[in-house]
Chain A
Amino acid sequence: MAKTKEIQRRIKSVNSTKKITKAMEMVAASKMRKAVDAVLKTRTYANLSWITILNISKSVGAGKYLHPLMEKRSEIKKVAIILMSSNRGLCGSFNSAIINKAVKSIRKHQEKNGQKKIETDFVIVGKKGLTVNSRYGYGVVAEFAKADIAAEVREVMPIAKLVIDDFLQGKYDKVMVAYTDFISAINQVPSVKQLLPIDIEAQDDYLGIMGKDTRVGADKDYYQEKEDKYLKDKDKKRFFVFSYEPGPKQVLDEMLPRLIEVQLFQALLESNASEHSARVAAMQKASESATELVDQLTLYYNKARQAAITNEIAEISAGANALNNN
Chain B
Amino acid sequence: MYKSKEIIKFEIVTPEKIALKEMIKKVTVPTEEGFITVLPKHMPLVGILKPGVIELVNENNEHKIMSVSGGFIEVFRNKVVLLADTAERAEEIDLAKAEAARKTAEQSLKNLRTSDKERFANINASLAKELARTKAVIRWKKINKL
- A interface residue numbers (CB < 8 A to B): 41-42, 44-45, 48-49, 52, 55-56, 59, 153, 225, 240-246, 250-251, 254-255, 262, 265
Jot down 13 A-B pairs with beta carbons below 8 A, ordered by A.
Answer: A41-B16, A45-B13, A45-B14, A49-B83, A52-B72, A225-B79, A245-B33, A245-B45, A245-B73, A246-B33, A250-B48, A251-B46, A251-B48
Give the 5 A-B CB pairs with smallest separation, nearest first. A245-B47, A242-B44, A52-B74, A45-B13, A45-B15
Q: How far is the CA of A254 from the CA of B47 in the complex (A)?
A: 10
Q: Which residues of B contact A56 (CB under 8 A)?
A: 46
Q: How far is the CA of A245 from the CA of B37 in the complex (A)?
A: 13
B46 CB contact (under 8 Å) in A42, A225, A255: A255
**In the complex, which range does the number of interface residues on chain B fall in?**
20 to 34
Given contacts A45-B83, A52-B83, contact A241 B44 (CB under 8 A): yes
Within 8 A of A (CB), among B14-46: 14-18, 31-33, 36, 43-46
CB-based nearest B residue for A248: B46
B113 to chain A, nearest CB (A): 25
Given contacts A52-B72, A244-B47, contact A42 B16 (CB under 8 A): yes
Q: Are A251 and B47 in contact (CB under 8 A)?
A: yes
Q: Which residues of A contact B32 (CB under 8 A)?
A: 245-246, 250
Q: Are B48 and A255 in contact (CB under 8 A)?
A: yes
Q: Which residues of B contact A255 (CB under 8 A)?
A: 46, 48, 72
Within 8 A of A (CB), among B90-136: none
Q: Which residues of A contact B46 (CB under 8 A)?
A: 52, 56, 242-245, 251, 255
Whether B81 is near chain A, meaning CB under 8 Å from some CB there, is yes
Q: Are B83 and A245 in contact (CB under 8 A)?
A: no
B74 to chain A, nearest CB (A): 5
Within 8 A of A (CB), among B48-97: 48, 72-74, 76, 79, 81, 83
Q: Which residues of A contact B47 (CB under 8 A)?
A: 244-246, 251
Q: Are B13 and A48 in contact (CB under 8 A)?
A: yes
A262 CB contact (under 8 Å) in B11, B15, B36: B15
- B interface residue numbers (CB < 8 A to A): 11, 13-18, 31-33, 36, 43-48, 72-74, 76, 79, 81, 83
Given contacts A44-B18, A55-B74, A55-B76, contact A243 B43 (CB under 8 A): yes
Q: How far is the CA of A105 from the CA of B74 in the complex (A)?
A: 33
Q: Are B48 and A246 in contact (CB under 8 A)?
A: yes
A244 CB contact (under 8 Å) in B11, B15, B45, B83: B45
Q: Which residues of A contact B36 (CB under 8 A)?
A: 245
B16 to chain A, nearest CB (A): 5
A243 CB contact (under 8 Å) in B13, B16, B45, B72: B45
Q: Are B44 and A41 in contact (CB under 8 A)?
A: no
Q: Are B81 and A245 in contact (CB under 8 A)?
A: no
Q: Which residues of B contact A254 (CB under 8 A)?
A: 48, 72
Q: Which residues of A contact B11 (CB under 8 A)?
A: 48
Q: Which residues of A contact B13 (CB under 8 A)?
A: 44-45, 48
Q: Which residues of B contact A41 (CB under 8 A)?
A: 15-17
A253 to chain B, nearest CB (A): 10
B67 to chain A, nearest CB (A): 18
B27 to chain A, nearest CB (A): 14
Q: How far is the CA of A39 from the CA of B17 in the complex (A)?
A: 11
Residue of B15, B44, B73 with highest tally of chain A CB at under 10 A: B15
Q: How far is the CA of A262 from the CA of B32 in the complex (A)?
A: 22
Q: Are B48 and A240 in contact (CB under 8 A)?
A: no
A92 to chain B, nearest CB (A): 29
Q: Which residues of A contact B18 (CB under 8 A)?
A: 44
Q: Which residues of A contact B33 (CB under 8 A)?
A: 245-246
Q: Which residues of B contact A241 (CB under 8 A)?
A: 44
Q: Which residues of B contact A42 (CB under 8 A)?
A: 15-16
Q: How far is the CA of A251 from the CA of B33 in the complex (A)?
A: 12
Q: How far is the CA of A59 from the CA of B79 in the complex (A)?
A: 16
B9 to chain A, nearest CB (A): 9
CB-based nearest A residue for B49: A245
Q: Are A243 and B44 in contact (CB under 8 A)?
A: yes
Q: Are A48 and B83 in contact (CB under 8 A)?
A: yes
